[in-house]
């Protein structure tokens, strides 16, 4: 048996790897593709938000609702598509909503399945990259040997995508927005803080020696090669993934005024400078 699988058993149902970021950088695509590998298992609820619930106070207003929504969707899928309903699996899903939500016991139950002894397990939650230094220290003490995967997207491109998603989800008519309203939307915390690379990357680099950083645009250009790199990093053999080039959660087209993009670009100047210091020109050409 692979030593990593032995470790997973010893560690009492904790994940072997984390995908920690960033939002709007194809983490949903990666979640879908990783589930296709025969030796990888991911929880049915994407984004468990365990660590950011503990260490990002503002997230606590919605993390519980996110889990409950994910469980409802998983239950609905089982009822509508499963050939044979498994009562044990239904109980497993329902236990996501137990009163001890976001405790260590709750988190480990997410990986407590009888058929996982020969599989690697992971947690794909892009909010994890935003947690405090104290939070990263906790992750390291709790998951000392976990593999860390981080997709890096150009800060402005990511912010543009986040802004489009926010406007679409809220049903806002962009044609009716004034200049001040556009800037107000661009000033929201999730636009800027979720790609604060200068602040976040050093925290994780100081605790984990071998983080796998993936440039965002390489996914569209060569998805299977990116997946093989991920599999190799996790200690798995290469595996051809069907429909690896399929897009997930494609956003609606929306033209953002130039003055809004210029405003956001100015806010990211320090982070762009940091990225130039941290990564190679080849890597940066693909983010």
Q: What is the pLDDT of residues 150-182, one digit of tens each?
A: 999 999 999 999 999 999 999 999 998 999 999
Whether residue 144 lies inside any domain: the answer is: yes
pTM of the predicted structure, to 2 decimals = 0.92
Whether residue 278 lies inside any domain: the answer is: no
Concatenated DSSP letters for 194-261? GG-HHHHHHHHHTT-S--EEEEHHHHHH-HHHHHHHHHHHTT------TTTT---SPPPP-PPPHHHH
Contact between 40 and 120 under an 8 Å Cβ cutoff? The reply is yes
Question: Checking phi first, is residue 12 left (phi over 0); if not, alpha (psi -120 to 50) or beta?
Answer: left
pLDDT in tens, 32-91: 999 999 999 999 999 999 999 999 999 999 999 999 999 999 999 998 988 888 899 999
Is the pLDDT at 281 greater than 80, yes or no? yes
Q: Which of 89, 98, 32 is nearest to 64 (CA)?
A: 98
Whether residue 145 lies inside any domain: the answer is: yes
Range of the domain at 21: 3-43+111-154+196-245
Domain count, the chain: 1
Whether residue 65 lies inside any domain: the answer is: no
Whether residue 223 lies inside any domain: the answer is: yes
Whether residue 287 lies inside any domain: the answer is: no
Q: What is the DSSP letter of 171?
A: T
């Amino acid at each position: 048996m692979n030593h990593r699988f032995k470790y997973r058993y010893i560690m009492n149902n904790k994940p072997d790897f984390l995908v920690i970021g960033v939002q709007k950088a194809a983490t949903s695509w990666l979640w879908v593709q990783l589930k296709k590998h025969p030796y990888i298992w991911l929880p049915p609820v994407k984004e468990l938000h365990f660590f950011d619930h503990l260490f990002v106070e503002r997230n606590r207003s919605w993390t519980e609702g996110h889990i409950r929504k994910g469980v409802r969707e998983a239950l609905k899928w089982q009822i509508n598509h499963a050939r044979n309903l498994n009562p044990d699996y239904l109980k497993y899903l329902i236990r996501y909503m137990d009163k001890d939500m976001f405790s260590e016991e709750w988190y480990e139950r997410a990986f407590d399945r009888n058929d996982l002894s020969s599989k690697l397990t992971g947690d794909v939650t892009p909010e994890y990259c935003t947690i405090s230094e104290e939070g990263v220290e906790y992750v390291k003490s709790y998951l000392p040997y976990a593999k860390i995967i981080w997709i890096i997207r150009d800060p402005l491109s990511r912010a543009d995508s986040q802004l489009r998603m926010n406007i679409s989800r809220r049903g806002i008519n962009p044609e009716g927005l004034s200049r001040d309203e556009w800037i107000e939307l661009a000033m929201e915390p999730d636009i800027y803080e979720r790609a604060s690379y200068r602040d976040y990357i050093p925290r994780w680099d100081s605790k984990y020696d071998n983080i796998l950083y993936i440039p965002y645009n390489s996914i569209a250009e060569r998805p299977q090669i990116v997946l093989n790199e991920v599999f190799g990093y996790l200690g798995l053999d290469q595996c051809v993934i069907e429909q690896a080039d399929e897009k997930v959660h494609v956003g609606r087209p929306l033209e953002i005024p130039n003055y809004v993009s210029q405003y956001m670009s100015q806010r990211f100047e320090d982070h762009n400078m940091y990225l130039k210091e941290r990564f190679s020109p080849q890597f940066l050409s693909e983010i």
